[in-house]
Amino acid sequence: MSSSRLPWSKRSLTAQAMGHVDPITKAVVPPIHVATTYIRDEDNAYSSGYVYGRPDNATIREAEGVLAMLEEAEAGALLFSSGMAAATAVFQALNPGDHIVASKVMYWALRNWLMTEAVRWGLAVDFVETDDLDAVAKAVVPGRTKLVWVETPSNPLWTITDIAAVAEIAHAAGARLAVDSTTASPVHTRPLNLGADIVMHAATKVLNGHSDVVAGALAGATADEFWARIASIRKMQGAILGPFEAYLLMRGMRTLHVRTAAQAKSALDLAQRLSAHSKVARVLYPGLPQHPGHDIAARQMEGGFGYMLSIQVTGGEAAAISTAAKVRLWKRATSLGGVESLVEHRASIEGPGTPCPPDLLRLSTGIEDVEDLYRDLDEALRAS
């Protein structure tokens, strides 16, 4: 049933996975469909709508339906085997010679792919500070630029791009706008409503929220030829998510609103307190009034400013690495968006060419007691 015909909020619909009840067992949790092949009708058709496991699956459709509802995506949603698989499918749907304008600060693996592999596809890429609208306007070439790719808030500096303004620039030049909204989540930002054509999520992160699934997702504003091309790429390359992973993702999304509310509240609390810490030189978090993108974030984000922040540690790189080494409750690990809080020295991970200052620690706020989280960081900072 379409969510538009139901009188319930997105939070209620997500909590019940769109209210699906298994028609055979009456279970309130949808079953996992693992079949790879399906019976043809006597006339050789597939009246069930399912043909083979590589392009389609009933469990995956269930999870895609929840995400499409959350993003208000008219074209629906597509789940991929990873965030990178989802993101690169968008670029692979372009034609050789097409020009791309992308955020200079973004997920490092995708940035590296664009700098290396994209050229093998015959694509031209320019990286700009997409929070600078003049820079975006200068980089976009009417008739040549086919895609503007924006990550906001950008990882790990948490700069904010004005989605609506960039959408106007892109569309005026005949380009599409795609937004990586992983760190915002559809609870805090809905890029399609702000003019974006495609929204991407590394669903491994806060959408799932339990650090036990690798997944990616795209949601589309219009079911046009480009969207069909992306779906075809997923089908032909076998990049669809597995049914068990889709089941786990749907389980994770059921608590999305509760988790993100708690995480955003704790992240803001930590950002405010760490801003006054003697061992912290700077806090990067769009929820702080002094953040350069605060006003735009306040306009395009709802119910909080996300669960991610970064701190620059007084004493430089050595002090930052030492702080990460001394935490006890925070976990030193890659990734973000899970129920456990994570800390990472990003410059060490990203290597040469990283935009990360060497004194920066990225913090992914979980759902632990915020007093415990602050005390653990405070003790580690002072010990370093």
From 253, 285, 301, the end of a domain falls on 253
Cα gap 146→200, rounded to integer Å: 17
Same domain, 325 and 369: yes
Q: Does residue 279 surpass a pLDDT of 80? A: yes
Question: Is 263 found in the same domain as 192?
Answer: no
Domain boundary among 237, 253, 269: 253
- Looking at the fold, whether 172 and 309 belong to one and the same domain comes out as no
Coil, helix or strand at residue 31: coil
pLDDT tops 50 at residue 183? yes
Strand partners, 79: 217
What is the per-residue pLDDT across 332-351, written as a single tens digit (0 to 9) for each?
999 999 999 999 999 998 88
The pLDDT score that the predictor gives to residue 1 is: 39
Statement to judge: residues 86 and 145 lie in one domain: yes
On whether both 80 and 215 belong to a single domain, the answer is yes
Mean pLDDT of 200-228: 98
- Measured CA to CA in angstroms, residue 259 lies from 30, 98, 252, 317, 364 at distances of 22, 40, 10, 32, 13
Give catalytic residue positions: 54, 107, 180, 205
Helix (H) or strand (E) holding 82: none
Whole-prediction pTM: 0.95
DSSP-assigned letter for residue 182 = T
Longest CA span, the chain = 75
Work out the average pLDDT over 106-118. 95
**Structural domains counted in the chain:** 2
- Return the CATH number at 154: 3.40.640.10
Same domain, yes or no, for 199 and 261? no
Q: Average pLDDT in the 229-237 region? A: 97
Q: How far apart are the first and last CA of the chain?
A: 56
The pair phi, psi for residue 276, each rounded to 5°, is -100, 5
Q: Are residues 185 and 140 in the same domain?
A: yes
For residues 223 and 286, membership in a common domain is answered with: no
For residue 318, pLDDT beyond 80: yes
Domain range for 329 is 256-383
Contacts of 204 (CB under 8 A, 6+ apart): 82, 83, 213, 214, 215, 216, 335, 337
Q: Domain end: 253, 285, 307, which one?
A: 253
pLDDT band at 364 (very low <50, low <70, confident <90, very high): very high
76 and 190 co-located in one domain: yes
pLDDT grade for 2, boundaries at 50, 70 and 90:
very low
With 0-12 / 13-18 / 19 or more C-beta atoms within 10 angstroms meaning exposed / middle / buried, residue 315 is middle
Tell me the per-residue pLDDT of 62-82, one tens digit each, with 9 for 90 and over.
999 999 999 999 999 999 999
Q: Are 241 and 2 in contact (CB under 8 A)?
A: no
Domain match, 185 and 303 both: no
Confidence bin at 204 (pLDDT 50/70/90): very high
Note the pLDDT of residue 149.
98
* Same domain membership, residue 195 and residue 66: yes
Cα(253)–Cα(255) distance, integer angstroms: 5
56 exposure class (CB count in 10 Å sphere: 0-12, 13-18, 19+):
middle
| Whether residues 212 and 271 fall in one domain | no
CATH of the domain at 313: 3.90.1150.10
